A and B are shown apart, each in its own frame.
Chain A
Amino acid sequence: MDQCAVNARPDLTISVKIGNESEAVTGNVQGVLSSAIRRTSSVRFRVWPPFRCFPALRHKHPTCQPPSSRARSRGTRFQRPELRDERATYIDPTRPGRRALLECVRICVRGNSTSIECTSAILKMPDANSSTVVPTESEAKGFADVKDREAWFTSSPDPWVQIALLEFGGDRTFATTVHRMIVHGERDQQPVMEAKLMQALGHPNLTPAGRQFICRMLGLIGSSACIPAVAPLLQNDASVDSARMALDFVPDASINTLYRQALNTASVRAKGGLIGSIAARGDAQSIDALTAIAVDTSQSREIRAQAERAVEALAKRS
């Protein structure tokens, strides 16, 4: 069974079942999902296998994971490889204004046949009453036990997890909730919240927007405790600015060392930001490293000038 071949085989026959409706569509997965989304303004699916099989989908999954404990507890059976609950936003390329939060799609590939089954579909209309939830077929039939049923009534997403999945252009409500908890929380509650932020930073599906938001929040309450979680971000050009957001205001000398080390590997863009942070932190021990940059003719004119000004500022302080 080759999961990643699913999207590459437009001749596959795919059956789609959304709630109580079903239809058979021939086409690739992207086409089928587009078709489903055209019929509804928004569809919630759960998707197996994960989205690395769907280039059009915006999530990237490093590996296929075993089923979550939640999936196992529901007694869901899967074809190999077993995969876990996932969720992502699918944007219909033909109609950019329409979006679907994909959740609960079961994809089975058997020979030339693929089926996508929406075990849980929540149809959302764009205007009022958009919160109408259509119970899934399996839910309508009943639950395995009372505990499952109770969970169905009471479960709700955890904002501290959802912030990791924040997308540019997506709903900021969970992020706002977390932001307000952070700014309104008592000072002695901050370590707990900092730990939750670090946990979110380690989410396997962490998005760039999620990372940026989490680092901003750490910028408000971060302490020495968050350094191990954030430090690796300094090594990547795509995340170094977010890392500085989290670390710039943490009064811990080890961050100065991390910044100095990052100077050695940073791109021009990242280096400029790091020099600014080093100067703002008043790290006089960086003067030698900055002086070396200031006289290094292989550096850009702007970076050399920036390093020179930083040295001047640091020398004045020390």
Chain B
Amino acid sequence: MKTVPCAGLPYASAAYSAGPDPSVRAADQFSLRGTELLSRRRFLQRSAIAGAAIALPQILPSRLFGQNAPSNQITVGIIGTGNIAQGHIETLLGFSDVRIVAVCDVDRFRREAAAEKINVYYGNRDCALLGDFRELAARPGVDAIFVCTPDNWHALAAIEAIRNGKDVYVEKPLTLTIAEGRALVNAARKHGRMVQTGTQQRSSKRFHDTAEFIRNGGLGKLERIDILIPANNKYTGGSWQPEPVPEGLDWDMWLGPAPWSPFNRQACHYNFRFILDYAAGQTTNWGAHYIDIAQWALGADSSGPVEVEGHGEFPTTGLFTTATKVDFTCRYAGGEKLRCRTRYDGVSDGNVRFFGDRGWIDVSRSASTASQPELLREVTARTGSLKLPSSANHHDNFFGSMRTRSLPISDVEIGHRTTTVCNLGNIAMLLDRTLRWDAVKEEFVDDPMANRMRTRSMRGPWSLV
């Protein structure tokens, strides 16, 4: 697998004041040929450049640049309208300079409900309904696509959108396999598209400041990182007895590249994330969020660990196949250890705790705690010289990156590297042994079986080409 470096490219937040990077714009020209849509995109980009030219784009409201005018709005299509997409739709409806123009889902009832919600809000019947993501990807008049499908589909849907010149917001985890992640990064770079990963904790001040504090050596030498993620023990023993496919669901399309299996209601909406053919359980569901922060604090956004050891527990029968007990440890080149494991206290959130010479700091979505109160004061003071890219809103950051053609806060390479750590943990747990990892080649050292598990055979006609 070829690694495409992203170091040196600007992030969206920096680009607000610095203007788009010429190299990124040059890459973007590759896909700016021809179509009406892309000409329009170029117009959007130039609006942003004009904004940058007066050096105050973050302060002046965007309506002054005419971004709210219909011709300047960013148009969005959504692939997958289930649980997570509902949150995106509600958020996007609040953006005056963004318009949802199409929804796509293999479940007719879901896509109709999503379109109805959008149409009611806009007061019209304009939202297009589609059952095949390829039609949405190829649809003119769509600038950005949100991929909110089961994980099994993330790479294929996102790559198809990128090929068609769309910028993409991909829900976490970025992809189901390591090979798919690399293919998605390569596609984004080749076509000059912006890809934001849905690891929105990077747009949270709490997590940002903590990662920045650690990167600046605030805890002294970082020794280890402990991550707790919610359990999925209730998802064991489900029946996988074949059932009739309900009306309105295109089951074959829902399965997509996954191995064929007869329909079962528990295998489908939401619960898919606990079946290894479609997702990777809480390891990626929650791990993608908290491991992402650890990677940020470690400065490992374009690399990863050098070794991983796992001891998980997996259901032996029934429908669900992902780990019910997650416990794996990664070792990084600097000697730091990252341990990720299941919590059993019923809390539906994770947390990441950093241990260093000066004590520890623990951060979750609800709170930050530390071994000494002064550590927390130092975190918020932000006195370190290294400033990490910042974002106040994950969606805003994505749309900003589209306008400036600069990398978003959770760029696809970052999302890929974080998801890779999750997948390394899952592979190590499945194999129940210590694995050495070459983060440059993205391959295991001297373990052919583990290397085969970096990818999967897709059910025809789907493939990564």
Contact = CB atoms under 8 A, between A and B. Distances in A.
Given A183-B432, A245-B259, A168 B462 contact: no
Contacts of A242: 259
Interface string A261-299: 000001011111111110110000000000000000000
Nearest to A220: B449
Interface string B419-461: 0000000000011110000000000000001001101011111
10 contacts: A168-B262, A184-B431, A212-B259, A219-B457, A241-B260, A271-B461, A272-B463, A276-B462, A277-B457, A280-B465
Interface of A: 96, 168-169, 171-173, 176, 183-184, 212, 216, 219-221, 240-242, 244-245, 248-249, 266, 268-277, 279-280, 302-303, 306, 309-310, 313
B261 interface: yes
B261 A168 contact: yes
Contact of A241 (B242, B259, B262, B455): B259
Nearest to B430: A183
B240 interface: yes
Given A169-B262, A245-B259, A248-B457, A276 B464 contact: yes
A172 B461 contact: no
A272 B452 contact: no
Contacts of A241: 259-260, 457, 459-460
Contacts of B430: 183
Nearest to B321: A172
A38 B455 CA distance: 46
A276 B462 CA distance: 7
Contacts of A302: 134, 461
Given A176-B317, A309-B465, A168 B432 contact: no
Nearest to B463: A276
Interface in B227-263: 239-242, 259-262
Given A240-B460, A241-B460, A172 B316 contact: yes
B461 A306 contact: yes
A309 B159 CA distance: 13
Contacts of B453: 220
B66 interface: no
A221 B463 contact: no
A189 to B, nearest CB: 12
B119 interface: no
Given A241-B259, A245-B259, A272 B457 contact: no
The 9 tightest CB contacts between A and B, nearest first, are A276-B463, A272-B461, A273-B460, A169-B241, A172-B317, A279-B465, A176-B316, A245-B457, A249-B452
Which of A96, A168, A216, A302 has the most B CB atoms < 10 Å from its CB? Answer: A168
A303 B431 CA distance: 36
